C-alpha cells in the first residue's frame, strides 16, 4: 500500500472533525473522498499535507511512519495538493508559476530560458500541452488548473490531492480534467479527489471513501456501487425525488433592456443584453465563466454601473441606485463568490446571518438581539449548518456551511426577485437537495428567480427558461422542456442555434 492513514482523530476543543479515520491509497489509484459539508474530508487532507497536526493517529508512506509538520515536508515526501482556490500569480507566466520556489539559476540570477525549457519538457513528459510563456491572467480557468497540476508534478509529487477540482470548471473542462487524471494515473501517479459531484466520482474513481460526521461509513470499489448508495451513506437516508410543478408565470419582475458595459479599451463585456424574469419562474443563465454573467448580475444588483441601456425592477428604474436601494425595492442576492460578496469573514455566524434583516429586527434603532438569534438558529436547524456556535467567526466554517448560511439568509428576505448565483457551489448532495427544494418553493409562491450556475445539470433541472451567454451577448434562449445538454453546450461554445 502506497499510503495509509491509521485511526486519525482531530479535535478542536469540543468539536471532533475526524474520529478514528482509516484511509489508504494504492499506487496509480484515483481514490475519491466524499461526504457532506463538515464531514471532515478537507481536515483529513490538510493533515496529510502537513497543514494540520492530528490529535491522534499515524501516517505510513510505503510502510514507513512519517510526520509532516508543514506542507514543505509533505512536498519533500512527494505529496502535492491543488487547492480549491488556485494559488497562482496572475501577472506571472506559466513557467514562472510552475518553477517558483525551485527556480533554475544562471549564477545568482533566475534563468528564464531554462525555466521555459524545463516546463516544455514537463508538459511533453506528462502529455499536458501549454504555452510556458503565456501569462496566467490571460488563461481560462481550466488551463489555470492545468498549471496547478503541472506545478505539483514539477515538485516531484507522486500523490496529488485535488480539492473540489471541477467546482469552477465548465462541463467540457471538467471532462478534460478527468481524462488528464486517468492519463497520469496510468503513468503511476496516485490521486485523492475531494468532491461533491457523485456522477464524476463514478466516472473517474477506482475506490471511494465516504465520511459522515467525521467517521468512515464505507470504503467502496467504484465498480460495485452507485450514486444512490453513495448518497445514502453520505446523508444517512434515501434522497427524495424533486417535485417540480408546472410553471405559472405572472407579471414581469425584472426587465433588462439593451444594457451595455464597456471594459478595457472600450471593448464591451456586456453588449446590448435583453432579459426578462417573471413572477413564478426560474430563468437560468448558462455560459462558460467570463462571458458576462458576473457583470450582468452585478449590474442588476447595483455592484456595477452600466454604460447604456436600462434595468427595471418591479417597474422601477434602478440604474445608478445603490445596492441598499435596489434591495429595498425588492432584491435578494446569493452572490457567486461567498467570500468576496456574501460574507464578512471576521464576523460571527450571527452577524453574517442577520445581514439585511437588521432593519426589520430593530426598534428605534436598537437591534432585537433575541429575535435575531432565534432567526439565525432557525437557519442553522433548517439547513443543518455545522457551526460551533452563533458567536463563532464564519472564517472557521467550511465553505459549504457558509454557503448554506448565505442561501438561508437571502431566501428568508422573501423579496420578489432572487438572484441565485452558484447557489450550491461547494455544498453536499443533501444540502443541494434542500436548496433546490427551497428555490422551487419560492418559485411556486410566485417569486422570480434568476439562476446563474456553471452546473449545466442544475440549470436544466431547475429552470423554466434557459438563456445562454457568450462573449457578453445572449447566444440563445430556449424553454427548459425543449432544451438539451448538447444544444446548450453548443451555444456556450459560440455555435449557431438550430433550436
Rounded CA separation 287/290 (Å): 8
Same-domain status, 260 and 220: no
In a domain, 108, yes or no: yes
In a domain, 498, yes or no: no
Same-domain status, 338 and 307: yes
In a domain, 61, yes or no: yes
Q: What is the CATH number of the domain that holds 365?
A: 3.40.50.300
Same-domain status, 288 and 205: no
Same-domain status, 173 and 305: no
Same-domain status, 328 and 225: no
Which residues lie closer than 8 Å to 306 by C-beta, 6 or more apart?
Answer: 259, 260, 261, 270, 299, 319
What DSSP line would sit under 161-180, residue for residue?
A: EEESTTTT--HHHHHHHHHH
Q: What is the pTM of this model?
A: 0.70
Rounded CA separation 85/168 (Å): 9
Same-domain status, 129 and 154: yes
Same-domain status, 157 and 28: yes
Which three-class secondary structure state does DSSP give residue 345? coil
Same-domain status, 318 and 181: no
Domain-ending residue, one of 208, 235, 262: 235
Which three-class secondary structure state does DSSP give residue 37? coil
Same-domain status, 204 and 268: no
Rounded CA separation 294/228 (Å): 34
Please give the order of strands across the beta sheet that includes 252-262.
268-278, 252-262, 308-313, 316-317
Same-domain status, 198 and 318: no
Same-domain status, 167 and 86: yes
Convert the pLDDT of each residue in 204-247 to its tens digit.
999 999 999 899 999 999 999 998 888 888 877 776 677 788 88
Q: Which residues span the domain enclosing 140? A: 3-235
In a domain, 267, yes or no: yes
Element (H, E) at 417: strand 417-421
- pLDDT 10s digit of each residue in the chain, 499 long? 999 999 999 998 888 899 999 999 999 999 999 987 778 898 999 999 999 999 999 999 999 999 999 999 999 999 999 887 778 899 999 999 999 988 999 888 999 999 999 999 999 988 888 999 999 988 877 788 889 999 999 999 999 999 888 766 767 777 888 888 999 999 999 999 998 788 889 999 999 999 998 999 999 999 999 988 888 888 777 766 777 888 889 999 999 999 999 988 888 999 999 999 999 999 999 987 778 999 999 999 999 999 999 999 999 999 999 999 999 999 999 998 888 889 999 999 999 999 988 777 766 667 777 888 999 999 999 998 988 899 999 988 888 889 999 999 999 999 999 999 999 887 877 888 889 999 999 999 999 999 999 888 889 999 999 999 999 999 999 999 999 888 888 888 787 654 4
DSSP code, position 55: S
**Helices and strands, number each (H, E), in the chain:** 16, 24
The pLDDT value recorded for residue 67 is: 94
Convert the pLDDT of each residue in 161-182 to its tens digit.
998 887 667 677 778 888 889 9
Which residues lie closer than 8 Å to 23 by C-beta, 6 or more apart?
Answer: 3, 4, 5, 8, 33, 44, 209, 216
Element (H, E) at 451: strand 448-452
Number of domains forming the structure of the chain? 2
Rounded CA separation 458/285 (Å): 11
Q: At what angle do helices 112-126 and 141-154 cross, to 10 degrees?
A: 100
The number of angstroms, rounded, from the C-alpha of 171 to the middle of its chain's C-alpha atoms is 13
Rounded CA separation 20/269 (Å): 51
Same-domain status, 341 and 381: yes
Element (H, E) at 25: strand 15-25
- Exposure string of 312-332, with b = 16+ CB inside 10 Å and e = fewer, is bbbeeebeebeeeebbebbbb
The set of cell numbers assigned to 33 is 473522498
* Residue carrying C-alpha cell 469573514: 345
Rounded CA separation 30/46 (Å): 18
Amino acid at each position: 500500500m502506497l499510503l495509509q492513514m491509521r485511526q486519525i482523530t482531530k479535535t478542536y476543543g469540543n468539536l471532533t472533525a475526524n474520529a478514528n479515520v482509516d484511509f489508504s491509497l494504492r499506487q496509480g489509484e484515483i481514490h475519491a473522498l466524499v461526504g457532506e459539508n463538515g464531514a471532515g474530508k478537507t481536515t483529513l487532507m490538510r493533515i496529510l499535507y502537513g497543514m494540520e497536526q492530528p490529535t491522534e493517529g499515524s501516517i505510513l508512506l510505503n510502510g514507513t511512519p512519517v510526520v509532516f509538520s508543514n506542507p514543505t515536508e509533505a512536498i519533500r515526501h512527494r505529496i502535492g495538493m491543488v487547492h480549491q482556490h488556485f494559488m497562482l500569480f496572475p501577472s506571472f507566466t506559466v513557467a514562472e508559476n510552475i518553477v517558483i520556489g525551485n527556480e533554475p539559476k544562471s549564477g545568482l540570477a533566475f534563468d528564464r530560458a531554462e525555466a521555459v525549457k524545463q516546463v516544455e519538457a514537463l508538459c511533453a513528459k506528462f502529455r499536458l500541452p501549454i504555452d510556458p510563456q503565456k501569462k496566467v491572467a490571460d488563461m481560462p480557468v481550466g488551463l489555470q488548473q492545468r498549471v496547478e497540476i503541472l506545478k505539483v508534478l514539477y515538485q516531484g509529487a507522486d500523490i496529488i490531492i485535488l480539492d473540489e477540482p471541477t467546482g469552477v470548471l465548465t462541463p467540457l473542462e471538467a471532462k478534460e480534467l478527468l481524462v488528464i487524471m486517468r492519463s497520469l494515473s496510468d503513468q503511476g501517479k496516485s490521486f485523492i479527489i475531494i468532491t461533491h459531484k457523485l456522477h464524476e466520482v463514478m466516472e473517474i474513481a477506482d475506490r471511494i471513501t465516504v465520511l459522515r460526521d467525521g467517521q468512515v461509513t464505507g470504503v467502496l470499489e467504484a465498480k460495485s456501487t452507485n450514486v444512490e448508495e453513495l448518497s445514502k451513506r453520505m446523508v444517512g437516508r434515501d434522497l427524495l425525488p424533486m417535485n417540480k410543478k408546472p410553471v405559472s408565470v405572472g407579471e414581469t419582475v425584472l426587465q433588462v433592456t439593451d444594457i451595455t458595459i464597456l471594459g478595457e479599451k472600450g471593448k464591451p463585456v456586456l453588449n446590448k443584453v435583453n432579459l426578462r424574469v417573471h413572477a413564478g419562474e426560474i430563468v437560468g443563465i448558462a455560459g462558460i465563466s467570463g462571458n458576462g454573467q458576473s457583470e450582468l448580475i452585478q449590474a442588476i444588483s447595483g455592484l456595477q454601473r452600466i454604460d447604456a441601456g436600462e434595468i427595471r425592477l418591479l417597474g422601477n428604474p434602478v440604474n445608478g441606485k445603490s445596492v441598499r436601494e435596489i434591495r429595498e425595492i425588492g432584491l435578494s442576492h446569493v452572490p457567486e463568490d461567498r467570500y468576496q460578496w456574501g460574507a464578512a469573514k471576521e464576523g460571527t455566524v450571527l452577524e453574517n446571518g442577520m445581514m439585511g434583516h437588521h432593519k426589520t429586527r430593530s426598534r428605534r434603532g436598537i437591534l432585537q438581539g433575541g429575535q435575531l438569534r432565534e432567526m439565525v438558529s432557525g437557519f442553522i436547524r433548517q439547513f443543518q449548518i455545522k457551526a460551533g456556535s452563533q458567536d463563532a467567526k464564519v472564517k472557521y466554517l467550511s465553505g459549504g456551511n457558509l454557503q448554506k448560511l448565505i442561501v438561508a439568509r437571502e431566501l428568508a428576505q422573501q423579496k420578489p426577485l432572487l438572484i441565485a448565483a452558484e447557489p450550491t457551489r461547494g455544498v453536499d448532495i443533501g444540502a443541494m437537495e434542500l436548496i433546490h427544494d427551497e428555490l422551487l418553493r419560492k418559485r411556486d409562491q410566485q417569486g422570480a428567480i434568476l439562476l446563474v450556475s456553471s452546473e449545466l445539470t442544475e440549470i436544466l433541472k431547475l429552470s423554466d427558461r434557459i438563456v445562454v451567454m457568450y462573449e457578453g451577448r445572449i447566444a440563445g434562449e430556449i424553454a427548459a422542456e425543449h432544451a438539451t445538454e448538447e444544444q446548450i453546450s453548443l451555444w456556450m461554445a459560440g455555435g449557431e442555434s438550430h433550436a
